[in-house]
C-alpha cells in the first residue's frame, strides 16, 4: 500500500481487508478447506456440523483434532480438552497482534470478538500488512479480512461438500496438506530467533512418533513436546552465554 492509500474511512479499510480474500494465504487456506471438507464427508460428518465447526472452531488443526477424536471414539470431554489445548497455541499470536491494531479507544469486547478470527492465516496476513494501515483503521482492516475469511470458508464448505465425497484420498490429502506446508515455510523464513527453528524441527520429528504411539493426540503432543524442547534449549543457550566472562 503506497502513501496515497493511507487515507479513507473505517469502511474503506474494512473493504480493503475484505479484498485480502484474494491473497495467496487466503487462497491456500480455502484449498485446504476443500481437502478438509472431503475428509469430513468421507468420515460421515453431516454437512451442517462441518459448516458449524468451520465457523466456531476457527483453526484447521483444531478441527482435524476434533474430527479425529470423534472417529477415534473419544468422549466429549476428551475431545473438548484436546481442542482447547490445541487452540492455546494461538494465544501468543493474539498477544502479538493486539498491540499492533488497538488504540486507546478500542473497547475490550471488540478485541475479544476479533481474537476469535486469529489463526495462522489471519495472523500472517495482518502482521505483514498492518504497518501500512493507519492505526485508527487497523481494527477495521483486520475485521474485514478475518470475518470475510471465516464466512467465505463456511460458504465454501457448504457448497463443495456434496462434490468432494468421491475425491480420491490422495487428492484430499494433497489439498489438505497445502496449508501446513505453506505456513511451515513462511514461519521458517520469517523466524528471527534460533528457538523457532528448534521448535519446528523438534515438532516435525516428534509428529510421526506420536502418531504411532497416540494417534488421537499426535498433533497436540508433537507441538507441546517441540515447544518445550525448544524452550529448554533456549534457556540453556542463554545461561551459557550469560556465564561467559
Q: Are both 100 and 210 inside the same structural domain?
A: no
Say whether both 154 and 62 belong to one domain: yes
pLDDT > 90 in the chain, percent: 26
Give me the number of domains the chain comprises: 2
Task: Give the C-alpha separation, 65 to 219, whole Å.
Answer: 8
pLDDT tens track for 65-106: 888 788 877 777 888 887 887 788 788 889 889 999 999 889
| Cβ-Cβ contacts under 8 Å for 136 (sequence gap 6 or more) | 10, 103
> If pLDDT is split at 50, 70 and 90, which confidence band does 141 have?
very high
Which pLDDT score is estimated for 192?
Answer: 63
Reported as a pLDDT band with limits 50, 70 and 90, residue 245 is low
Report the pLDDT value the prediction gives residue 153, as an integer from 0 to 100.
93
**Whether the Cβ atoms of residue 61 and residue 86 lie closer than 8 Å to each other:** yes
> Which range among 82-86, 132-136, 220-224, 231-235 has the greatest average pLDDT?
132-136
Both 20 and 116 in a single domain?
yes
Residue 122 lies in a domain: yes
**DSSP letters for 93-160:** HHHHHHHHH--TT--HHHHHHHHTT-SHHHHHHHHHHGGGS-GGGHHHHHHHHHHHHHHHHHHHHHHH
Most confident of 17-26, 58-67, 137-146, 213-222: 137-146
- The reply to whether 147 falls in a domain is yes
Distance of CA 174 to the CA centre of its chain: 18
Mean pLDDT, range 8-28, rounded to an integer: 88
Helices 120-129 and 91-101 cross at an angle (nearest 10°) of: 30
Q: Is residue 205 part of a domain?
A: yes
Q: Are residues 166 and 231 in the same domain?
A: no
Last residue of a domain, one of 173, 202, 225: 173
Is residue 179 a part of any domain in this protein?
Answer: no
CA atoms within 13 A on the CB side of 129: 23
183 domain-assigned: no
Please report the pLDDT score of residue 182 as a whole number. 66
Please tell me the predicted confidence (pLDDT) of residue 13: 93
- pLDDT for residue 1: 46
For residues 44 and 97, membership in a common domain is answered with yes
Query: Taking CA 169 as the corner, what is the angle to CA 167 and CA 175, rounded to the nearest 5 degrees?
Result: 80
**Are residue 74 and residue 133 in the same domain, yes or no?**
yes
29 in the same domain as 134 = yes
Q: Burial code of 211-220, b = ≥16 C-beta within 10 A, e = fewer? A: eeeeebbbbb
Condensed to tens digits (0 to 9), the pLDDT of residues 165-217 reads 777 777 777 776 776 676 677 667 666 677 777 887 888 888 888 778 877 67
Pick from 33, 45, 41: nearest CA to 162: 41
| 114 and 223 inside one domain | no
What value does the mean pLDDT of the chain take?
A: 82
Same domain? For 123 and 196 the reply is: no
97 and 201 housed in the same domain: no
Q: Which structural domain range is residue 202 located in? A: 191-239
pLDDT of residue 2: 43
71/174 Cα distance (integer angstroms):
21
- Same domain, residue pair 148 and 40: yes
Three-state SS annotation for 49-109: HHHHHHHHCCCHHHHHHHHHHHHCCCCHHHHHHHHHHHHHCCHHHHHHHHHHHCCCCCCHH
Averaged pLDDT, 126-139: 90
30: nearest Cα among 151, 130, 138, 196: 151
Domain presence at residue 178: no
More confident residue, 189 or 21: 21
User: Is residue 104 located within the same domain as residue 131?
Assistant: yes
Q: How confident is the model at residue 219 (pLDDT cuts 50, 70, 90)?
A: low
Residue 245 included in any domain? no
Q: Over 50: is that where the pLDDT of 128 sits? A: yes
Residue 184 belongs to a domain = no
201 or 55, which is more confident = 55
CA 191 to chain centre: 17
Amino acid at each position: 500500500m503506497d502513501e496515497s492509500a493511507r487515507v479513507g474511512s473505517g469502511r474503506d479499510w474494512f473493504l480493503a481487508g475484505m479484498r485480502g480474500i484474494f491473497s495467496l494465504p487466503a487462497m491456500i487456506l480455502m484449498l485446504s478447506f476443500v481437502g478438509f471438507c472431503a475428509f469430513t464427508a468421507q468420515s460421515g460428518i453431516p454437512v451442517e456440523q462441518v459448516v458449524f465447526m468451520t465457523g466456531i472452531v476457527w483453526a484447521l488443526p483444531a478441527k482435524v483434532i476434533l474430527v479425529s477424536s470423534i472417529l477415534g471414539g473419544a468422549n466429549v470431554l476428551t475431545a473438548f480438552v484436546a481442542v482447547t489445548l490445541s487452540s492455546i497455541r494461538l494465544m501468543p499470536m493474539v498477544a502479538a497482534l493486539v498491540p499492533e491494531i488497538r488504540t486507546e479507544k478500542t473497547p475490550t469486547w471488540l478485541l475479544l470478538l476479533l481474537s476469535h478470527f486469529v489463526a495462522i492465516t489471519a495472523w500472517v496476513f495482518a502482521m505483514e500488512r498492518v504497518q501500512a494501515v493507519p492505526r485508527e483503521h487497523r481494527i477495521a482492516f483486520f475485521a474485514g479480512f478475518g470475518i470475510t475469511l471465516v464466512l467465505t470458508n463456511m460458504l465454501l464448505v457448504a457448497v463443495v461438500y456434496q462434490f468432494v465425497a468421491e475425491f480420491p484420498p490422495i487428492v484430499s490429502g494433497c489439498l489438505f496438506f497445502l496449508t501446513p506446508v505453506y505456513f511451515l515455510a513462511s514461519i521458517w523464513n520469517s523466524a528471527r530467533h534460533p528457538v523457532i527453528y528448534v521448535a519446528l524441527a523438534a515438532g516435525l520429528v516428534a509428529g510421526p512418533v506420536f502418531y504411532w504411539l497416540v494417534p488421537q493426540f499426535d498433533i497436540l503432543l508433537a507441538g507441546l513436546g517441540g515447544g518445550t524442547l525448544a524452550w529448554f534449549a533456549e534457556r540453556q543457550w542463554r545461561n551459557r552465554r550469560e556465564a561467559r566472562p
